[in-house]
Structure 1
Amino acid sequence: MSQTLYEKNQQLLNTLIKQANIEDLLELSKLSGVSQWQLNRLQHGLIVKMSVENIAALARTLNLSIEQLIDTFISYDGESISAKSSGEEATTIANLKREYASLQEQMQQQREVLKREFQQDSLQAIESWLLQWPTAAAAVRKNSQLPAERLLPLVKPIEQLLDEWGIETIAAVGEKLPYDPQWHQLLKGTANSGQLVEVRYVGYKQGDKLLYKAKVSPIEE
């Protein structure tokens, strides 16, 4: 006796579940947020009737692309459903793929927004270290006898994190350079643009965006 469509889809789904190291349909439902009723529809060959959100969630949980998931469950008896079904069903499948592509784009944009918000929150969390540490580290390097020198390697991960985010320092502590009010903040006194100043605390920028100005002092003539 030949397998029914339900039995074939059930086998396919169980294989995908095992490949994704998921225990059973109940765990798949919990991990993906897709109800068991929807999983039952999938096994009955009704993937074209499922929402793109549910299909996307299942594909993500099973480590598949939506195209792979759809292509897996719209074929049977060696033929594609698009060859056997009506033009309306084929159009539905094409629409699902387009909706998913749009959903992916929206999710990517949302991830970028969340990423920027996370970076901003993180910068605020380490603001005091960000502004004070370079000056403290410069003092330690001048006197290698200070026990604090042993602490320098501990901040390497933070420096690497800033580097991954594309955050660069503006000048170095003790550096003498022409005063630029766009990038420098005077700690005391006055200075004209181009006048030589000394950096007391480094500033930071991310690409062309200023995060913190370098704090400088005029050099006494």
Structure 2
Amino acid sequence: MTPFEESIRQRMQDLGIGSWSKLQQQAGMGRRSLDNVRQGHLQSLKLSQLHSLAAALGWSLEQLLFRFHLIHPEDPSLAHEDQQFHGLTQKSSPAAHDYLQQQTFQQLQTLLTQYPTARHMADANPQLPARNLTALFRSLDQLLHTWGIEAIGSPWEQVAFDPALHHPDTTDLGLGETVYIRFVGYRKGTTILSPAKVSRTLPKGYP
């Protein structure tokens, strides 16, 4: 039995949850997700699953993340559980906030990577049906702005290749070589969340 499993089992006993299948039912989780929880692999769960699991166990999301060592109180000398949770709530909210942002970004990454290029193509060619769909994604721009996440480049922009910012479609690109951005990347401050995908040539159908 893993330490994570023992911690959860003790909490289940305190709450009168008699079996793992009962917890699975209350949290609305699949068997594989529950197995990941028992092994301490919360990183593999979706944000909605983390919220549901925390609620089933009567914990806040921060308490759940703390239990699984995904966030830590700034003061390691806190001796009692109540003090730890109080310190966690007061001091470690930024850590929990950053963790949840990362989890959400990973879930949205494919959409966020492809959407700017689709929008640019729709603007360049109004006959494309996709033009009617771009308004549905405007909330993503606001979400990224709120999180302080910035795009790396813009679709089809001509830039100098920088391996720190760009992911090439070939292995022979040299530093500073002229390339075109096929799909934008994203960064938060100095942290590169996903590099922009670049190529020497423009995509077919470029006006």
TM range (shorter): 0.5 to 0.7
Aligned match of 2:144: 162
Q: After superposition, where does 1:144-163 map in structure 2 within 5 Å? A: 144-163=126-145
Q: Indicate whether 1:178 and 2:163 are aligned.
A: no
Note closer, same or farther for the CA distance 1:219–1:149 as it changes in structure 2 (3 Å cut): closer
Aligned to 1:39: none
Q: Give the aligned partner of residue 197 of structure 1.
A: 179
Count of matched residue pairs: 121
Structure 1 segment 63-74 matched on structure 2, within 5 A: none
Larger Rg, first or second structure (1 or 2) = 1
More helix as a share of residues? 1
Q: Deviations over 1:165-196 (max 9, x none)?
A: 00000011111111111101111252111111
Task: Note the C-alpha offset of 1:199.
Answer: 0.6
Structure 2 unmatched ranges of 5 or more:
1-83, 203-207
1:126 is paired with a residue of what secondary structure?
A: helix
Structure 2 counterpart of 1:121 = 103
Structure 2 residue corresponding to 1:187, chosen from 144, 169, 177: 169
Report 1:52-71 matches (<5 A): none
CA contact (8 A) 1:190 1:218 kept: no
RMSD: 2.3
Query: Of the candidates 192, 202, 206, which is equivalent to residue 188 of structure 2?
Result: 206
Question: 1:200 is paired with a residue of what secondary structure?
Answer: strand
Is the contact made by 1:134 and 1:173 (CA closer than 8 Å) also made in structure 2?
A: yes
Query: What are the within-5 Å matches in structure 2 for residues 40-119 of structure 1?
Result: 106-119=88-101
Identity of aligned residues (%): 34
In the alignment, the residues of structure 2 paired with residue 209 and residue 103 of structure 1 have an alpha-carbon distance, to the nearest angstrom, of 29
Deviation at residue 218 of structure 1 after TM alignment? 2.0
The 2-side partners of 1:112 and 1:118 are apart by 10
Displaced runs of 4 or more, over 3 A: 102-106
Structure 2 CA distance, aligned partners of 1:110 and 1:174? 40
